[in-house]
Amino acid sequence: MVPVVHELADCLLEIEAELRSLGWWESRQPCAQSLASSQPFCVDTLAFEQWLQWVFLPRMKALLEQAGELPARSAITEMAEMAYMEMPGRTVTLRRHLKRFDRLLERHGQAGA
């Protein structure tokens, strides 16, 4: 059986690949002020896909690489559903990967409890 942390790492790669496939992967990082938002998911300064690329993916990859403490729960699926409610067909694969990430994170949290 593959350890959950390896599955989480694979899922992060799938999320990145899907962002690239959708044409939403950016080569230029947003300004520091946009990244420093105090709002959840930087909703006031970034599009959700920007937040995924510039905040979520780097943070999660760093936690996995450093064997840091992962959150026990994530609301990323709910946020994705809200962010992409106007384009459900186009984002179905991305949302599926994010839902898988949430489930794996929850499973990891239960295993550690």
Domains in the chain (CATH in brackets) are 4-26+43-112 (1.20.1440.40)
Beta-carbon contacts of residue 91 (< 8 Å; ≥ 6 apart): 22, 80, 84
**In the prediction, which pLDDT does 8 show?**
95
**In the prediction, which pLDDT does 112 show?**
62
**In the prediction, which pLDDT does 110 show?**
76
Does residue 25 sit in helix, strand or coil? Answer: coil
Under a CB-based contact definition with an 8 Å cutoff, are residues 106 and 72 in contact?
Answer: yes
Mean of all residue pLDDT scores within the chain = 93
pLDDT-derived band at 21 (thresholds 50, 70, 90) equals very high
pLDDT, tens only, 71-80? 888 889 999 9
pLDDT, tens only, 74-111? 889 999 999 999 999 999 999 999 999 999 999 887 77
pLDDT, tens only, 32-69? 999 999 999 999 999 999 999 999 999 999 999 998 88
**In the prediction, which pLDDT does 2 show?**
67
**In the prediction, which pLDDT does 1 show?**
62
**Cα-Cα end-to-end distance for the chain:** 19
